[in-house]
Chain A
Amino acid sequence: MLGRLRRFRRLWILLAVIGPGLITSNADNDAGGIATYSQAGAQFGYKLLWVLVLVTISLIVVNEMSARLGVITGKGLADLIRERFGVRSTTLAMLLLLVANATTTVAEFAGVAAGMELLGLSRLLSVPVAAVVIWLLVVRGSYPVVERVLLSIGVVYVTYVVSGFLIRPDWTEVLRASVVPQVVPIRDYWLLAIAVTGTTITPWMQFYLQAAIAEKGIPNDRLAYSRLDVILGSLVTDFIAFFIIVATAAVLFGHIRPDLLGNLGAADYARALAPVAGPFATLLFAVGLVGASILAGCVVPLSTAYAVTEAFGWERGVDRGISEAPAFFLIFTGLIVIGALAVILPGLPLVRVILLSQDVNGLILPAILIYMLVLINDRRLMGRFTNGPVANLVAGVTVVALITLTLLLLAASIPGSPLTG
């Protein structure tokens, strides 16, 4: 019909639904992701690729569960946990989430510090400035505008894909390593396997993604679009992750003295971009790392504050102000302060801190997945949209695998045990 309607887009429905999945997965390749995948490639070559491939399958299944929970119930995960499990279990879930997200925030600030140090800026300056910038961005409500800028910085990581091709790795070896499991039974291997899982499927992401989808109020009959959104998002994330591992493996693995492998820094990881960027590899890596870290540095504290206040029924929202929503601001600000303070100590090995935080996420993830599994199999809640056997199997195997990995890690950490490397 008339002028104003005609302007409207054909793809209206798709555009209205698409978004949360792609945004979340972009934020997922944050400081933790980049450091973990780089370390995996540098230290073990292609030997963790098969883990990434399996993790991608469970990432798709788990994100699809988040999307389905969000669309069908119209509620966030924290909300559902509270309504289904009561106060005690909710308190436990929220404590776990706070621990996981506090360590993730620490990792994001470590990412800012590491990126800025590559550019020659001291963390004593970059970290406090980043903390203030993040706080103001979110509280002033200018975050949605900046989100686009930060997301576009994430495109920097496409260069890993280019780099991965330019290096001309042995593709048969890459493919073989992707499907044939190779295990190096030492502590660092278990640690990295957990970290790769914990950084790809993060606890915070499940809360953020479901809340973002629920907020859109997507009708049940458009679930398919939402599924498409998260599946595409998961594939894009892990496509880049795959090439980060391939590029760092080709450039660094076998070219570094084994005794130095445990103490690699951001400057070493940046070399994986050299085939494409030459002398600008460091700059490119640093810009990407800082952009991704600030993006996740906004999203993680904010989504935590929303989740916890939602679960306990406290006032929330940045437009409420500190006096009206004190708990919300306390959690949000507290996480930023903890994150910034933790990495400001000079001499702290930033990359170690990042890797460790991803392990904490990997250890906490099974608990969050168990909550999700119970919820999504609740027929009263989900009606005919409960999990099918395949989804239950994949998610269940993920839980069991993570717990097994944790036990292997513990066993390998006991001095004198046969698993110690």
Chain B
Amino acid sequence: MVFLSELLGAEVVDVGQRRAGRVRDVTVTPIEPYPLVTGIVTSRRQALVVPWSEVRTFAAREVALRVPREEVSPLPANPDDIWLARDVLDKQVIDTDGRRVVRVNDLQLVESGGRMLLVAADIGMRGLLRRLGLEVVGKRVARLVGRDLPIVLVSWDAVQSLSDRSQDAVRLRISAQRIGKLHPADIADIVEELSAKQRSAIFESLTDEVAADTLEEMEPEEQVSVIEHMDSERASEILEEMPPDEVADILADLPEARAHEILGLMEKDEADDVRELLAFPEDTAGGMMTTEYVAVSVGLTAQECIDALRVLEPEAESIYYVYVVDEEEHLRGVLSLRDLIVANPNTPITEFMRREIVSVPLEASAEEVAAVLTKYNLLAVPAVDDEGRLRGIVTVDDALDRVLPEGVKRRLPRVR
């Protein structure tokens, strides 16, 4: 086991103990899960690499070659290889185990079956002190105050590299996308710590579904910034996976031409829903509502209604209430899932649906909507137009988001 910092600057000696240069960098080829060391860079400027096959021992302070220095055949660097000191050391990476952004203070290499592998990143204080040549001092000081100075490592199979250069982004895509396996809420937390360019690189690597879920978990300003930095084609694909009310909120904050372009690229049905929502001012029931709700026709029986739900496969968020509407979309009643399940399958739903419906007009303010939701203990409230037609629902979380003062939201504990 050896740390990269101990190797950098080490003397390279040939089989006859004669000097053959210094270690300027170490190259690896990005294979999973642990990158394989391919050679030693002896001249950064000329990008000359001594292949790993010519190295006999590989230890701190000295790297011994198998051959006399006259027979060393440095090769031009392989453009696909990663240079550890240049490309990884000191850079920010994501620790997907700890779900945070960290900086690589050092890298740990381990020999295994004649091969040298990059196994871990040192992200702790001890790695920093080692780089400063103060590791021993640091350990002594720590001992004086009765603490030890642990080496904090992140296994390389939990490291997600970051990049902000397009040529690197291609290379990184070859390596596994570890961040895509995290919960979208965690991905959102992590990417909010990144620069706009790194963030774009991460989003580029996520699938449309994961990208959409992640975007939903982010703060409104951050959502806009992510979409802004994306090409419109990709943005439209991601937005199609999101509920129309959220899409409308994001598009409303984009420059108009850009919003039009993205809407034009989205599927027509989705785009129409969004256009409808965009017509309402942001802080009204119309602006807050989503058009993803479950509405069934007034003439169904309980069993037909359940069958209809199976076909619709509604999102979890919108299935709290099943709304009953007539042919003109007038809101006639509301059912809970419980009502449906306990009812006799052949009973018409009109016989057990609740007719005294609480609803809000489209123009209702955020405060009014929140007041209705709390007063009647609802998870969502339908929004209806002047003629009593159902246009959407406002869920309690969206309403809460609008009425909670910024200060309160900030003081909520961070959930890790």
A residues contacting B by CB (< 8 A) are 1-6, 8, 12-13, 73-75, 79, 82-83, 86-88, 90-91, 141, 214-217, 219, 312-313, 315, 319-321, 324
Across the A-B interface, give the 4 residue pairs with the lowest CB-CB distance, nearest first: A217-B196, A313-B103, A74-B197, A87-B131
- Point out the residues of chain A lying under 8 angstroms from B199, CB to CB: 217
Quick one: which of A3, A217, A219 contacts B280, CB cutoff 8 A? A3
Residue among A3, A215, A321 making CB contact with B279, cutoff 8 Å: A3
Some 12 contacts from A to B, beta carbons below 8 A apart, are: A1-B275, A1-B278, A2-B278, A4-B279, A4-B281, A5-B252, A5-B256, A8-B256, A86-B89, A86-B131, A87-B131, A214-B195
Q: Are B90 and A86 in contact (CB under 8 A)?
A: yes
Chain A residues positioned under 8 Å from B128 (CB to CB): 87, 312
Binding site for A on B (CB under 8 A): 89-92, 100, 102-103, 105, 123, 128, 131-132, 164, 195-199, 225, 228-229, 248, 251-252, 255-256, 259-260, 275, 278-282, 287, 407, 410, 414
Are B256's CB and A87's CB within 8 A?
Answer: no
* Given the contacts A3-B279, A217-B225, A12 and B102 also touching, CB distance less than 8 Å: no
Q: Do residues B256 and A217 form an inter-chain contact, with CB atoms below 8 A?
A: no
Task: Report the minimal beta-carbon distance from B51 to chain A, rounded to whole angstroms.
Answer: 24
Of chain B, the residue at the smallest CB distance from A6 is B256
Given the contacts A1-B275, A1-B278, A5-B259, A313 and B197 also touching, CB distance less than 8 Å: no
Interface contact B410-A319, CB-CB below 8 Å:
yes
Q: Measured between C-beta atoms, what is the minimum distance from B306 to chain A in Å? A: 37
Q: Are A87 and B105 in contact (CB under 8 A)?
A: yes
Residue in B199, B252, B260 whose Cβ sees the most chain A Cβ within 10 Å: B252
Q: Is the CB of A5 within 8 A of B278?
A: yes
Chain B residue numbers with a CB within 8 Å of A312 are 103, 128
Nearest-neighbour CB distance to chain A for B84, whole angstroms, equals: 12
Out of B100, B195, B225, B287, name the residue touching A4 (CB < 8 Å).
Answer: B287
Closest A residue to B5 by beta carbon equals A87
Could you say which of A2, A6, A141 contacts B275, with CB atoms under 8 Å apart?
Answer: A2
Taking a contact as CB atoms under 8 Å apart, the answer to whether A87 and B132 are in contact is: yes
- A12: which B residues are within 8 A, CB to CB? 255
Distance A74 CA – B134 CA, assembled complex (angstroms): 32
CB-CB under 8 A from B281, the residues of chain A are: 3-4
Docked complex Cα distance between A329 and B329 (Å): 57
Across chains A and B, the number of contacting residue pairs, with CB separation under 8 Å, is 84
Complexed CA–CA distance, A12 and B228 (Å): 12
| Contact A4/B252 with A74-B198, A214-B195 known, Cβ cut-off 8 Å | yes
Known: A3-B279, A5-B259. A313 touches B123 (CB 8 A): yes
Report whether over half of chain A's contact residues are helix, strand or loop; otherwise say mixed: helix
* Residue of B whose beta carbon sits closest to that of A76: B195
Residues of B within 8 A of A4 (CB): 248, 252, 278-282, 287
A75 to B251, CA, bound (A): 27
Are the CB atoms of A87 and B90 closer together than 8 Å?
Answer: yes
A75 touches B195 (CB 8 A): yes
CB atoms of B255 and A13 under 8 A apart = yes
Q: Please, how many angstroms separate the alpha-carbon atoms of A217 and B91 in the complex?
A: 19
With A8-B255, A83-B90, A217-B229: A88-B195 Cβ-Cβ less than 8 Å: no
Which residues of chain A come closer than 8 Å to B255, judged between CB atoms?
8, 12-13
Q: Which residues of A contact B91 (CB under 8 A)?
A: 83
A2: B residues at CB distance < 8 A: 275, 278-279
User: Cβ of B279 and Cβ of A82 under 8 Å apart?
Assistant: no
In the docked arrangement, what's the CA distance between A321 and B196, Å? 24
Give the distance in Å from the alpha carbon of A91 to the alpha carbon of B53 in the complex.
37
Question: Which residues from A are CB-within-8-Å of B248?
Answer: 4
Residues from chain A with a CB closer than 8 A to the CB of B278 are 1-5
Measured between C-beta atoms, what is the minimum distance from B31 to chain A in Å?
A: 24
Supply 5 further A-B pairs (C-beta < 8 A) apart from A8-B256, A88-B131: A4-B252, A4-B281, A73-B164, A74-B196, A217-B197
- Which chain A residue shows the least CB distance to B196? A217
A1–B196 Cα gap in the complex (Å)?
Answer: 29
B408 to chain A, nearest CB (A): 12
In the complex, what's the smallest C-beta–C-beta distance from B214 to chain A, in angstroms? 17
Bound: A63/B63 CA distance, A: 45
Question: A5, A74, A91, A320: which contacts B164 (Cβ < 8 A)?
Answer: A74
Q: Nearest Cβ distance between residue B55 and chain A, in whole angstroms?
A: 24
- The interface residues of chain B lying within 8 Å CB-to-CB of A219 are 229
A82 touches B103 (CB 8 A): yes
Q: Output the nearest chain B residue to A316 by Cβ-Cβ distance.
A: B193
Q: List, in ascending order, chain B residues with CB within 8 A of A73's CB.
A: 164, 197
* Distance in angstroms between the alpha carbons of A6 and B278 in the assembled complex: 10
| Set of chain B residues within 8 Å of A141, measured between Cβ atoms | 407, 410
In angstroms, how far is the closest chain B Cβ from the Cβ of A213? 11
B195 contacts A74, C-beta separation under 8 Å: yes
Q: Least Cβ distance of A336 to chain B in Å?
A: 21
Residues of chain A lying within 8 A (CB to CB) of residue B256:
1, 5-6, 8
Q: How near does chain B come to A230, taking the closest CB pair, in angstroms?
A: 18
Residue on A nearest B130 in the bound complex, by CB:
A87
Partner of B92, one of A8, A214, A313, A324: A313
**Given the complex of chains A and B, what is the CA–CA distance between A235 and B282 in angstroms?**
39
Question: How close is B154's CB to chain A, nearest CB, in angstroms?
Answer: 12
Taking a contact as CB atoms under 8 Å apart, the answer to whether A5 and B251 are in contact is: yes
CA distance A1 to B83 in the complex (A): 51
- A5 cross-chain contacts in B, Cβ below 8 A: 251-252, 256, 259, 278
Q: Which single residue of chain B is at the shortest CB-CB distance from A4? A: B252
Residues in B neighbouring A320, C-beta threshold 8 A: 414
Query: Bound complex: CA of A219 vs CA of B102, how far in Å?
Result: 25
Nearest CB in chain A: distance from B284 CB, A: 10
Q: Which residues of B contact A91 (CB under 8 A)?
A: 132
> Can you name the residue of chain B whose Cβ is closest to the Cβ of A220?
B197
A10 to chain B, nearest CB (A): 9
Please give the distance in Å from B106's CB to the nearest CB on chain A.
9
Chain A residues with CB under 8 A of B228: 217
Rounded to whole angstroms, the CA-CA distance of A229 and B138 in the bound complex is: 45
Residues of A within 8 A of B229 (CB): 217, 219
How far does the alpha carbon of A236 sit from the alpha carbon of B14 in the complex, in Å? 63
Residues of B within 8 A of A88 (CB): 131-132
Which residues of A sit under 8 angstroms from B252, Cβ to Cβ?
4-5, 8
Chain A residues near B164 (CB, 8 Å)?
73-75
A6 / chain B contacts, CB cutoff of 8 Å = 256
Chain A residues with Cβ below 8 Å from B287 are 4
